Structure 1
Amino acid sequence: MMLRHHQLATIPVLASALLATPAYAMQEDKFQLLHTIYQEKSLYRNILVVESEDGSYRCMKFGRLHARQTCIHLMQPQRLVLNYTKGLLAALYMAPAPRKVLIIGLGGGVLPMALHTLDAQLEIDTVELDPAVVKVARSHFRYQENAHVRTHVQDARVFVRQQQRRAAQYDVVLVDAFDRDYIPEHLLTREFLQQLHSLLTPNGVLAANTFAAGALARHEAATYQAVFGQLYQVELHGGNRILFARRDGLPPLSAVQHHAQAWEQRLALFGLSSADLLPRFSLQPQAVGVKVLTDQYSPSNLLLP
């Protein structure tokens, strides 16, 4: 859905006001991972749990040369360490009163745990293909399920189809199923995003962790735009870009700012600040000259930067 003229007029004014604020670094914690404390080869990947020399930080990695999937500060476990997790939680700026959340990709479970801390009555479904990842999240990253926090060990596409048949709906969907070296191609197609669109409530929000540069970034944008229309983007240090969509069209940035202020005190617990994130919100430029990724055309891994 296209933005209305009064919404479009709001964007340059508010964006200018936000960018006039002091520059915020939004840097991730800097630390060197030296000690492997656990390793497991699952059916899908080599899972490593690595700690910093002083024992303050613990991270999950998929192979020694891969990027960090999840990190926690052991003395401050509620604080979000990686920028992309903070960016994904900014979906709450567009969903002021969520009741049900779907998370695709578990990692160490920091996102469902953060959401559960925010609201213990929030219904959270997390889908993870690899049972070994779930086991390591429980044993090394303090991930805990209960009546409101549920883990579904299966392919996300299968789970989404099942939820469609049940007419399930979610206020927020967070997509975090990719890394720098591999993408499940069937989770980055127009058809899959159409399925996710059907699960959203009327004001439901989708936030996806994507690439900020390279050929794949343009194809990602084109594919999300083909389903949702206009998008907001938040670019983060480290090569991550969070795309935000809403089922029935984007709210104006003034509404995003208003809801961000309402969340400010509660999200500060996790190290989030609207002063960091709001200046990064902008409209995702329309992707032109690139093909939409579909179930018939999905060369995502060939497009990796």
Structure 2
Amino acid sequence: MTNKDVFSNKFNIQPEGDIVCHVTDEYGDIIVADTEEHRILRFEGINEQSKMLKKDVNLPVHHYSKAMLMATAFTSGRTALLLGLGGGALLRALHTLDEQRIMDVVELRAGVLSVAQEWFTLPGSDKISYYIEDAEHYLRREHTHQYDLIFSDLYSAFSMEPRQGTEAFLRLCLEKLSDQGWLVLNYYEVPRAGSALSCALREVFGEVLYCRVPSGNVVIYAARKPHLQTISEFREQAQLLLSRLNIGNEMGDLSKNIVPLYP
């Protein structure tokens, strides 16, 4: 979910699209709406959890999803853990980039997975496994293997899951990362110098970058070990990678927003 969506509620803006599916579970509403160009997933009100372009379902729409994808350029590894499914935008794009990528998807709400499977064209692949489970509980499992990429996009209807910004959560993710692994967080702001999150990232990870996107969200890239690449090289890798999804020119500007979190 984008930061911009949260603020939109203050102005009583009507949500986009005609509702085509509306179910309720113990956590609240799950709503699917259609416009001429897009299919939209909402949990409550106007906030967009996911948005799919009908003419190219594998092309991510939200900028934060595109920024999260850039992390795939930083490692040659082919295993990924997705914490939070939403409408599957990141999952579809990752599968398009590499159909042999092994992915585990952890989603708290069975209803979200069911709706995503019915309405959001999730890829059919024996390389993808789904788990209906709390993300922290999954990370605490002893029998799960290590991942080259962990994508954490944990949001409720109106806010980010606060555990996502804690040192305890970061350390759980670190334990599940391979030697070449990266944790990718969809966060709501740049961690302030001296803040608990900034200090935790510095303490736990060998290298931390971030990318601010137009919606206001910040995608944080945290590597187990430091890398030899310069920021210019990281940006170039990201731009080349996303050109494979035919958004290379657009992503050129966004990739320039990749900077170190601390000197």
| TM-score, scaled relative to structure 1 | 0.74
Task: With a CA cutoff of 8 Å and minimum separation of 6, indicate the structure with the bigger relative contact order.
Answer: 1
After TM superposition, give the deviation of residue 230 of structure 1 in Å.
4.4
One of 245, 256, 259 as aligned partner of 2:222: 245
After TM superposition, give the deviation of residue 181 of structure 1 in Å.
2.2
Q: Distance in 1 between matches of 2:157 and 2:220?
A: 17
After TM superposition, give the deviation of residue 93 of structure 1 in Å.
2.5
Say if 2:43 and 2:157, in contact at 8 Å, map to a contact too.
no
One of 48, 59, 67 as aligned partner of 2:40: 59
1:154 to 1:265, Cα distance in 2 relative to 1, 3 A: same
Say if 1:60 and 1:108, in contact at 8 Å, map to a contact too.
yes
1:274 to 1:33, Cα distance in 2 relative to 1, 3 A: closer
Q: Structure 1 vs Structure 2: percent identity of aligned residues?
A: 26
Letter in 1 for 2:102: E
Letter in 1 for 2:114: K
Q: Distance in 2 between matches of 1:46 and 1:116?
A: 28
Cα RMSD over matched residues?
2.7
2:131 match: secondary structure = strand
Matches within 5 A, 1:238-277: 238-250=215-227, 251-260=229-238, 262-268=240-246, 273-277=250-254
Q: Distance in 2 between matches of 1:143 and 1:135?
A: 10
Q: Distance in 2 between matches of 1:184 and 1:274?
A: 27
2:29 is aligned to 46
Residues paired across the two proteins, number: 250
1:139 is aligned to 118
Say if 2:37 and 2:54, in contact at 8 Å, map to a contact too.
yes
2:92 is aligned to 113
Per-residue deviation, residues 249-276 of structure 1 (Å, max 9, x unmatched)? 24432441453355244232x6675412
Give 4+ residue runs of structure 1 displaced > 4 Å after superposition: 270-274
Per-residue deviation, residues 56-91 of structure 1 (Å, max 9, x unmatched)? 1111011114x2110011122122111110010011
1:231 match: secondary structure = strand
| TM-score, scaled relative to structure 2 | 0.85
Matches within 5 A, 1:1-305: 33-52=16-35, 55-65=36-46, 67-95=47-75, 97-162=76-141, 165-166=142-143, 168-179=145-156, 181-212=158-189, 218-228=195-205, 230-250=207-227, 251-260=229-238, 262-268=240-246, 273-285=250-262
Say if 2:70 and 2:241, in contact at 8 Å, map to a contact too.
no
2:9 is aligned to none
Letter in 2 for 1:241: V
Further displaced range: 277-286 or 202-211: 277-286
Q: Which runs of 5+ in 2 are unaligned?
A: 1-14
Letter in 1 for 2:134: D
2:95 match: secondary structure = helix
After TM superposition, give the deviation of residue 92 of structure 1 in Å.
1.4
Letter in 2 for 1:266: R
Letter in 1 for 2:148: D
Q: Distance in 1 between matches of 2:235 and 2:79?
A: 22
1:206 match: secondary structure = strand
1:264 to 1:60, Cα distance in 2 relative to 1, 3 A: closer
After TM superposition, give the deviation of residue 104 of structure 1 in Å.
0.4
Structure number with larger C-alpha Rg? 1
After TM superposition, give the deviation of residue 227 of structure 1 in Å.
1.8
Q: Distance in 2 between matches of 1:45 and 1:198?
A: 32
Q: Distance in 2 between matches of 1:114 and 1:161?
A: 27
Further displaced range: 81-90 or 251-260: 251-260
Q: Distance in 1 between matches of 2:244 and 2:190?
A: 32
After TM superposition, give the deviation of residue 285 of structure 1 in Å.
4.2
